[in-house]
Structure 1
Amino acid sequence: MSNSSDALDAVACAAHGAYAVKDSAVIKHVGIILYDGFSLLAAGMLAEALHVANELQSEGASHSLTYRVNLVSARGGTVSCSSSMSVWTEQLAGRHFDSLDNLFVAGGSGVARASADDGLIDLLRRVSAKSVKITAIGNGHMLLSAAGVGQREWPSMKQDIHPRPTTDILPEYERDQALMTSLALLKRDLGADLAVRVADRLGSGADLSLAGTLEQMYDATLAEKARASARWLVRNCAKPISVVDAARMSSMSERNFLRLFKREIGVTPSKYLLRARLDLTCKLLESSDLPVDKIARRTGLSNGERLSKLFRKEFSMSPTEYRARSRQKR
């Protein structure tokens, strides 16, 4: 979101339903409530982030959720942003009101004046009473305070950038706060990996105040990828799988996968897979009378000769000796 024109395009597209994508299993209806003097950059960034999430999902094999974004206001019609550009809004009533899943309250220079709008304040109270998830962007929290919708009454998502106690908010801050708000929603709905991909597309213009948060999100996503691949290796260790297969399951190149896995798990994927296969072998030796050669085939270790070599290297004894010793301890 580099300028007001881009923001206006994003908001206008949302208003006219241009963000619709192919049908998916779940449709989430999202409203962005506007008023005269709202922040165009913040509303545009939020709408664009949800649009990008729709696009990224449509490019993949599965598309689990579609966001439908509507720009709404207390009375509908034309609303002017803080930079005097105008957008068309729908009145938050009827079917839009009943189908709403999330409502975002935009911030902006006009928030103090909007806080004195009885119609808007009453609308926020009625939305809150319906248990719709309401989230303020920037100084939009002033509207919630005016409506008596307190922190404990509305299920806010975790905010990574907290509102400043003033109505004068820099455009860059509004944009970045809207980005982090949208990423929090995407992370909760679709997982950290999708949120990171959206951040990749939109976050390049973010200032240094976002760097730490985005880095944490990347690190958390990569760490979870490594843990998930480790679990996959254990579940499938009896099959003829390889490290290349694990890298493919993680949607990573083999080189990057090897580096990530070693960093997060502490050993190489091949070593981890071998340990999983040897653990399974020990369990079968302890609990069954299967021949060593058959156990080797059942644990992905090819044959009895290879299993015996690996066993002597790791445990300094043969599989048969291990079986005998384990039964002596019973």
Structure 2
Amino acid sequence: MTRLPGTLAVLMLDQQAAIEVALACQAFGSPPRNHPGDWYELRMCGERGAGEPVPLRSGFDHFGPAGPFELRATHGLDDLVSADTVVVPGSGDVHGDPPALVLAALRAAHARGARLVSLCSGSFVLAAAGLLDGRTATCHWEHAPVLAGRFPAVRVDANILYTHDPDVLTSAGLMAGIDLCLHLIREDLGTAAANAVARRMIVPPHRSGGQAQYMESPMSVPHTGSALGEVLDWAMARLDQPIGVGGIAARAGVSVRTLIRRFQAELGTTPSRWLLTQRLGRARELLESTGLPVGLVAERSGLGTAPNLRAHFAREFGVSPTGYRRDYNPAPALR
């Protein structure tokens, strides 16, 4: 069942990334061509009121001087409180809180029944207002540890693209913000409207998988002077071979139990988990940089067979190896 779009307020804060403010305007600012019926009434709400300039950043950094962009608010915080939907683009500072007046306005909007939506690090703003306590929330994967550390009452999930509680929704970074905007349009006005906006923005109307497929996978580094360093190098050079935890322990000259203790103490993980992570990383490298068939990628990364590789990719990244390659290496695979 669709709902009328109503009024939609975009919260404008100093130092936000200009592209995320623009993203919300692009998605909700005007209806797609030939759209029948109502559309959103857009309000650009600034802390200092209508007509006041808001400095924005040209990039995603959360430190240093503001960028060269400046927008003028069309409305103030009172208009945000009375809106049906409030969109909060990325915060300008993930280490500090917005002004108290802003947080109070968000709490008041939620109390009167508004739907609150954060894009990327905008979840920090909702969390500072106490509106994410006890909820699952997400943000850009780079900021997820900071969000979890600053707001322990929030269940941070760095893998998903967006959350969709009926009254509070959060998204990961940039493209996931578009995903969430399209999700809202789909809920409010139906699939046809969402698809039309997606075509106008030249993006898919829905993406599969989660953030894990976009995260970097650095190798854990042991403490300086640790004997594990040589063992890890040895294992990395043999990922395509049938080495297991027993083989790593034998190379280190210790029992499996001792090896597990050392991995936990120095790397914060288990040998088996470390080995799987490195093999998946190798598979990702091969999918991104070669046209090798999926079966050969599985062999060369030590994951054995194509079905095994697919199972691991589905579980870890929420996407198939073929789908991953399609995004990162569109050249045709070898036959």
TM-score (norm 2): 0.45
Greater percentage in helix: 1
TM-score (norm 1): 0.45
Rg comparison, structure with higher value: 1
